[in-house]
Amino acid sequence: MKKITFVMPTYNSANYLERTLKSLTQMIGADKAVVEVLFIDDGSTDQTLTLLEKTVATDPTTYRLLKAKHGGVSKARNLGIKNATGEYVTFIDSDDAYTKNFIPTFLKQIESYPDLLWEDVHQLKDSGLHQIRTLNERLKCMSMVLGIAKPFIQEGIASKFYRREFLLANKLMFNDKIVVSEDTLFILEAIDKAQSIYLSDLKFYQILEEHSLSRFNEKVLASELEYEQRIDKILQEYPPVMK
């Protein structure tokens, strides 16, 4: 069984995909036996598929490719969750870079079998496993993601790992109605269900490109409303003031 599945959605990524694939290879290093990279192509119309097919052909036991109709990143990530074979799953973008030879460190971190694992935690005093037993502990983790507590972590999907059986047992999927902050909602929903988390200050993820949607259109505004409603639903069980 693979220990980790890296789910990488792609959509017209040809201009920067080769750079990312090189970084991905360096990140995996000599540990291909425990790694699966699952490419989910979201209906690309450029040379992305050609590049991915060449990569899969070099090592089909490590790399897999699923082709989907264009439906957005959330649907692509959900397809990845459903088809992953790794014990843990994480989501990476086709335009970023990662630290070299990461897997040995990752394997040590999951020895305690946490539901969640976060790398790149800023201002963290000690890396290690933390149990999430109380609403206070849960809210503290949420505050770290939202950048309103120390230590803190980047709000997006980067550098966060999930035990796949935990996701499936709690029916945690990305909300494909949301096109802005869908990753933050997913993270908060995972925290709301998790019993344990491993926090690490290891520098794993480097975002090299930023691709943003125009915020002034009907779809984005409807998405933001859906996001706010979902957040309100999560927080209903929490007291208005947490000490």
- The pLDDT, as a whole number, for residue 82 is 98
Please say if the pLDDT value at position 117 is more than 50: yes
Mean pLDDT of the chain: 90
For residues 190 and 170, give the distance between their C-alpha atoms in angstroms, rounded to a whole number: 8
* Better-scored residue on pLDDT, 180 or 191: 191
| Domains and their CATH numbers in the chain | 4-235 (3.90.550.10)
- The pLDDT, as a whole number, for residue 225 is 64
**pLDDT tens across 37-96, in order?**
999 999 999 999 999 999 999 999 999 999 999 999 999 999 999 999 999 999 999 998
Model confidence band, residue 210 (pLDDT cutoffs 50, 70, 90): low
User: Is the Cβ–Cβ distance between 182 and 74 less than 8 Å?
Assistant: yes
- The pLDDT, as a whole number, for residue 178 is 85
The DSSP string of the chain is: --SEEEEEEESS-HHHHHHHHHHHHHHHTT-GGGEEEEEEEE---SSHHHHHHHHHHH-TTTEEEEEE-S--HHHHHHHHHHH--SSEEEE--TTEEE-TT-HHHHHHHGGG--SEEE---BT-S--EEEE--SHHHHHHHHHHHTTSSSSB--SSSTTEEEEHHHHHHTT----TT-SSSHHHHHHHHHHHH-SEEEE-----EEE-------SSSHHHHHHHHHHHHHHHHHHTTS-SS--
pTM score of the predicted model: 0.89
